[in-house]
């Protein structure tokens, strides 16, 4: 795609907006429910495609990559079905109306989920959409558009433009017919989108990077915290913005934590992502593989303790975009590998000297997307969770909630996705004053 295609898509979305925005909540819920059913029916195909495009192990692709978009769609069906009475403030009626035409610019690591997390609330709000998936993993978005095309939507309600970010993404962000942009990607990409969007004063929602801290207090179950933490850090090959890539443990327990981390990391031996036993597939591209290996070498050069892994090619995987699962121990909180988003199977273990020190280390980051805290004392864990400057904190491995707001502090972005908060990103608020109180 190119700028001409962006113009055509934006114009089509603008033309469709009056009709789609006037549909009822029931009609929109029906569309999203049918789309969820259709994607669920193609779940195996979707999982296989993402396995091939991104390197996600097939069992993870089935459990998360293919299933989560269906969950998200159905969550918005439920929200729409719940009804929405206008808020009343004395003699004022407060209405929520669709934002307009929105651009959804998605990354490659969870390609279908990231598109659906934007598309579902945008459609639910009554917006029309132009979607730009990552050029690294575009195929499942084509499946999504195939199924949308089979539904009875006004022509132009949802539009797809494939292409690179510096061309298609930039054109969407700057386009005068686009009222809002929802972008997920790097800080550099988010900055570029914000700058391109600024002259037209459009709304911009950003979900950017992370360097999340997994804080373990001295009364926690260390074995469980490290086991869950390693699995979280290495999920999808570490190509996850919410990955807990900094394991912050009590300094007296550092040796034991490193033993456990090495033990659990061994379960993530590189393998064919199509094999049922594989937990760690290849990186999504050769350039990204090289970037991750360079970070590992930098960690060694900077003096961090290499516990397991390393920058070398994994044995038996001379071809393919593979990286050794790597753990560094006793890492300086200010080291590059503890500050920068590596986006690969690389875990940094840092020592802390008590709760306040752990909080300081956790907050020592330009990012603030996700995090975790472990303690046998609920009140103590909650105190640490409240003090962490991050958008989401899991306490003692609590499960993911698709209805909860998701987004970041600091350079992890602004705005929120998922649930009611995600819906509000695609709505305008209107006040109507009437003479009589009602």
| Cα separation, 178 vs 125, whole angstroms | 15
Beta carbons within 10 angstroms of residue 195's beta carbon: 13
149, with CB counted inside 10 A (0-12, 13-18, 19+), is exposed
d(CA 252, CA 237): 30
Q: In which region does residue 356 sit, left (phi positive, over 0), alpha (psi from -120 to 50) or beta (all else)?
A: alpha
Instruction: Please indicate whether residue 241 is annotated as part of the active site.
Output: yes
Select which of 177, 207, 341, 427 is catalytic: 207
Contact 130, 13 (CB under 8 A): yes
Catalytic site residue from 127, 241, 341, 417: 241
Give the DSSP letter of residue 62.
Answer: I
In whole angstroms, give the CA distance from residue 159 to residue 182. 15
CA torsion sign, 241 to 267 to 226 to 309? negative
147 in Cβ contact with 39 (< 8 Å):
yes
Is 127 noted as a catalytic residue in this protein? no
Nearest to 65 by CA among 290, 270, 237, 251: 237
Relative to beta strand 371-374, strand 101-105 is unpaired
- Of 363, 357, 300, whose CA–CA distance to 329 is shortest? 300
DSSP bridge partners of 97: 428
Catalytic residues: 207, 241
């Amino acid at each position: 795609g190119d700028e001409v295609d962006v113009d055509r898509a934006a114009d089509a979305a603008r033309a469709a907006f009056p009709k789609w925005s006037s549909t009822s909540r029931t009609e929109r819920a029906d569309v999203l429910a049918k789309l969820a059913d259709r994607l669920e029916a193609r779940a195996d195909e979707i999982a296989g495609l993402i396995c091939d495009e991104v390197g996600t192990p097939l069992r993870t692709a089935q459990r998360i990559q293919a299933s989560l978009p269906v969950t998200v769609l159905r969550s918005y069906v439920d929200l729409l079905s719940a009804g929405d009475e206008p808020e009343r403030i004395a003699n004022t009626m407060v209405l929520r109306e669709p934002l307009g035409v929105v651009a959804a610019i998605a990354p490659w690591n969870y390609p279908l989920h990231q598109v659906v997390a934007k598309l579902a609330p945008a459609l639910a709000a009554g917006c029309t959409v132009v979607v730009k998936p990552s050029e690294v993993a575009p195929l499942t978005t084509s499946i999504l558009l195939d199924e949308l095309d089979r539904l009875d939507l006004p022509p132009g309600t949802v539009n797809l433009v494939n292409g690179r970010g510096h061309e298609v993404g930039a054109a969407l962000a700057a386009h005068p017919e686009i009222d809002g942009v929802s972008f997920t990607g790097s800080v550099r990409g988010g900055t570029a989108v914000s700058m391109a969007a600024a002259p037209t004063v459009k709304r911009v929602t950003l979900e950017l990077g992370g360097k999340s801290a997994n804080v373990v207090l001295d009364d926690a179950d260390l074995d469980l915290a490290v086991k869950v933490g390693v699995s979280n850090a290495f999920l999808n090959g570490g190509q996850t913005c919410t990955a807990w890539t900094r394991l912050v443990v009590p300094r007296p327990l550092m040796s034991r934590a490193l033993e456990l981390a090495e033990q659990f990391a061994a379960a993530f031996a590189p393998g064919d992502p199509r094999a049922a036993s594989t937990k760690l597939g290849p990186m999504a591209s050769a350039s990204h593989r090289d970037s991750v290996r360079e970070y590992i070498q930098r960690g060694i050069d900077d003096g961090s303790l290499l516990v397991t892994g390393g920058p070398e090619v994994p044995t038996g995987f001379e071809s393919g975009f593979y990286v050794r699962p790597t753990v560094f121990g006793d890492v300086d909180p200010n080291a590059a590998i503890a500050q920068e988003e590596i986006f690969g199977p690389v875990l940094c273990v840092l020592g802390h000297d008590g709760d306040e020190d752990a909080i300081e280390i956790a907050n020592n980051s330009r990012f603030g997307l996700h995090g975790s805290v472990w303690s046998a004392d609920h009140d103590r864990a909650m105190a640490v969770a409240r003090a962490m400057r991050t958008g989401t904190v899991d306490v003692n491995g609590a499960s993911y909630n698709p209805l909860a707001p998701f987004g970041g502090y600091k350079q992890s972005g602004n705005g929120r996705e998922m649930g009611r908060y995600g819906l509000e990103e695609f709505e305008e608020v209107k006040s109507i004053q009437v003479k009589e109180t009602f």
